[in-house]
Amino acid sequence: MASEMESSLEASFMSSGAVSGASGFLPPARSRIFKIIVIGDSNVGKTCLTYRFCAGRFPDRTEATIGVDFRERAVEIDGERIKIQLWDTAGQERFRKSMVQHYYRNVHAVVFVYDMTNMASFHSLPSWIEECKQHLLANDIPRILVGNKCDLRSAIQVPTDLAQKFADTHSMPLFETSAKNPNDNDHVEAIFMTLAHKLKSHKPLMLSQPPDNGIILKPEPKPAMTCWC
Amino acid sequence: MALRSAQGDGPTSSRWDGGSEKADFNTKKKKKVAEIYQALNSEPTDVAALRRMAISEGGLLNDDIRRKVWPKLLNINTNDPPPISGKNLRQLSKDYQQVLLDVRRSLRRFPPGMPDEQREGLQEELIDIILLILERNPQLHYYQGYHDIVVTFLLVVGERLATSLVEKLSTHHLRDFMDPTMDNTKHILNYLMPIIDQVNPELHDFMQSAEVGTIFALSWLITWFGHVLSDFRHVVRLYDFFLACHPLMPIYFAAVIVLYREQEVLECDCDMASVHHLLSQIPQDLPYETLISRAGDLFVQFPPSELAREAAAQQQAERTAASTFKDFELASAQQRPDMVLRQRFQGLLRSEDRTKDVLTKPRTNRFVKLAVMGLTVALGAAALAVVKSALEWAPKFQLQLFP
């Protein structure tokens, strides 16, 4: 597995041909870094989503994440080289209570993930949002909501309108996607790239500081209404 | 740096790791097998000797021996009937869903060539073992990674014996990981940086300025490296070592790995992401025997009792200390002294004479010492929670033997 899962950093640099924007070379030392934490219940697909974005494909086999895993990819946005760091966290509640908090430090954005085929994972979202509030000093940090596994159409338990209502209540854009279905590859890509664009356009120079103007990510193209499956 | 430079002068480093002197290797192996069986067959079983064998070069050598020796190291009587439950635990257990998710995803733990059907059968057994232990010990809480430990025992000793062994292990070595919260686990992780600091302050300071934290070592600690090592032979070799030693030994081993990678770490960008990423990718070709031996050295040189204050200071720095020390007391109150182990304590004292001649050889000295320290835990400290024992554990017994 070490070679399978943990090679995403390398893969992100090697897959430059396949994945638009990824660099074939090591980024210059001064490229900006966007640090994004990915949270949600166990087995909703956090590891697969981050792996899909960083390595450009669905991992063959994933295991439970213990603690915090880290994946990274260099992208180019409007001519600027930017490193996107994804912090993939353990889903089991006991880990987040005393373990994960260290990794909320200096986070630029939060991705909440639920499993569209598992209503319980959707019902857990309020506690994840609350948890996140406690750890993040600035509450205007961009947050997005991602419903994963939309390729399993017959098993969907969380209807889009319900999720959209929830997302609106919490001023988050909603994305429904699948880390697995190859046709959705661009969409996982698009989700993180949209987020990166947001961060880039709203973050001036000092990334370690929270933005001074309250950012509310309005869902621009109403992504959820057109499920990308 | 001390560790790196010391690497060259250990003539033992490659002997068991596929060294060139094949004949010598075979001779030594045969000799060790004979010694292990002698210890197994002596009356009473020479557990101290078995501990030394489990620690020393090559460990317990093969799974046949492990099936016989692991129960001895945990003081399990293999003739006792295995624990069973008449209840439908899959319906009753609150942990079933989580266990199921984790076990289903643990394909990589099984030998690559194993037929799916056989693997699926073992996965079912794995779920049953975990649920049974949790049901019998309501004070224990399941954590993701526990399944990585249980599967190792299942693959080596089979379902029946694995249940007994893991149950014992869960109430002793793994006890702190199975608290309602992970505060005690975090406390054990707090030993990591003080150990590194003792050996290599420069590396320690670099890691502190990077604010890398210790979570990169979390899966190492709570799965005894079962989650991160792909070669099963390495996993069971480490299990030999850890079963024979103090419950905090895995954190010493984690420190030794970090120290071994000193150059890589120092060449890395000094930020959390870079260092975390580097360290969490564990190299698969580590010189295990050398590192085991170093971990043992470090343990003897800087026993937990000496590091306890610093580790506690780290905890306090993180503002979580207040409740933790109460938790230790609570945890230790849940443990009970084990009379059988106490009886064996007498046996060990008798075996003191036997170990004395070995003591004259400097290399073996450490194994004896470690084995005794491990046994001390099984005798006395095992009656306490590990963290408790790590805080208060004065190796008095060891001092008597090694003035």
Indicate yes or no: CB of A33 within 8 angstroms of CB of B186: no
Q: How many Å lie between the alpha carbon of B13 and the closest alpha carbon of chain A?
A: 24
Q: What is the pLDDT of residues B46-63, one digit of tens each?
A: 999 999 999 999 999 999
| Rounded Cα distance, B351 and B178, in Å | 34
For residue A106, give how far its alpha carbon lies from the nearest alpha carbon of chain B (Å).
Answer: 11
Q: Between B181, B223, B230, which is nearest A94 by CB?
A: B181
Question: Which of B140, B113, B112, B109 is closest to B126 using CA atoms?
Answer: B109
Cα nearest neighbour of A63 on chain B: B105
Option in A43, A68, A94 nearest B101 (CB): A43
pLDDT at site B365? 57
CA atoms of A133 and A77, how far apart (whole Å)? 29
CB nearest to B102's CB, from A2, A64, A72: A64
Contact status of B336 with chain A (Cβ, < 8 Å):
no
Given a cut of 70, whether residue B68 has pLDDT beyond it is: yes
Model confidence at B380, pLDDT cuts 50, 70, 90, reads very low
Q: What is the model's pLDDT at position B355?
A: 39
What does DSSP say about strands A174-176 and A143-148: parallel, antiparallel, or unpaired? Answer: parallel
Question: B230–A6: do the CB atoms touch at under 8 Å?
Answer: no
Tell me which residues of chain A, numbers 42 to 71, contact chain B at a CB-CB cutoff of 8 Å: 42-43, 61-70
Q: What is the pLDDT of residue B359?
A: 36
* Residue B93 pLDDT > 50: yes
What was the pLDDT predicted at B306?
87
CA atoms of B332 and B184, how far apart (whole Å): 12
Task: Using 50 as the pLDDT threshold, list the residues of chain A that sit under it.
Answer: 1-24, 27-28, 204-229
Query: Contact at 8 Å (CB) between A109 and A141?
Result: yes
pLDDT recorded at residue A134: 86
Q: Does B274 lie at the interface with A, CB-CB under 8 angstroms?
A: no
The sign of the CA dihedral A35, A36, A42, A45 is negative
Quote the pLDDT of residue A183: 75
Closest residue on chain B to A68 (Cα): B215
Task: Please report where in the chains the tokens 């890691």 appear, as a residue.
Answer: B207
**Out of A42, A92, A99, closest to residue B215 by CB:** A99
pLDDT for A205 equals 38
Least reliable range by pLDDT among B20-29, B96-105, B333-342: B333-342
- Report the pLDDT value the prediction gives residue A109, as an integer from 0 to 100: 95
Nearest to A2 among B101, B277, B284 (CB): B284
**Across A101-105, B63-67, B139-143, B316-320, least confident range:** B316-320
- Residue percentage of chain B with pLDDT more than 90: 65
| pLDDT for the residue B61 | 96
Judge: A67–B218 Cβ closer than 8 Å, yes or no: yes
Residue B308: its pLDDT value, please? 84
What pLDDT, in 10s, does the model give residues B238-267?
Answer: 999 999 999 999 999 999 999 999 999 999
Q: Which residue has better confidence, A13 or B117? A: B117
Kindly identify which residue of chain B lies nearest to residue A29, measuring between CA atoms: B269
Arithmetic mean of pLDDT, B308-334: 49
What are B286-290's contacts with CB under 8 Å, separation 24+? B286/B234, B286/B257, B286/B260, B287/B7, B287/B13, B287/B14, B287/B17, B287/B260, B288/B17, B288/B234, B288/B237, B288/B238, B289/B12, B289/B13, B289/B15, B289/B16, B289/B17, B289/B57, B289/B58, B290/B7, B290/B10, B290/B12, B290/B13
Q: For residue B374, count CB atoms less than 10 angstroms from its CB and return exposed for 0-12, middle for 13-18, buried for 19 or more.
A: buried
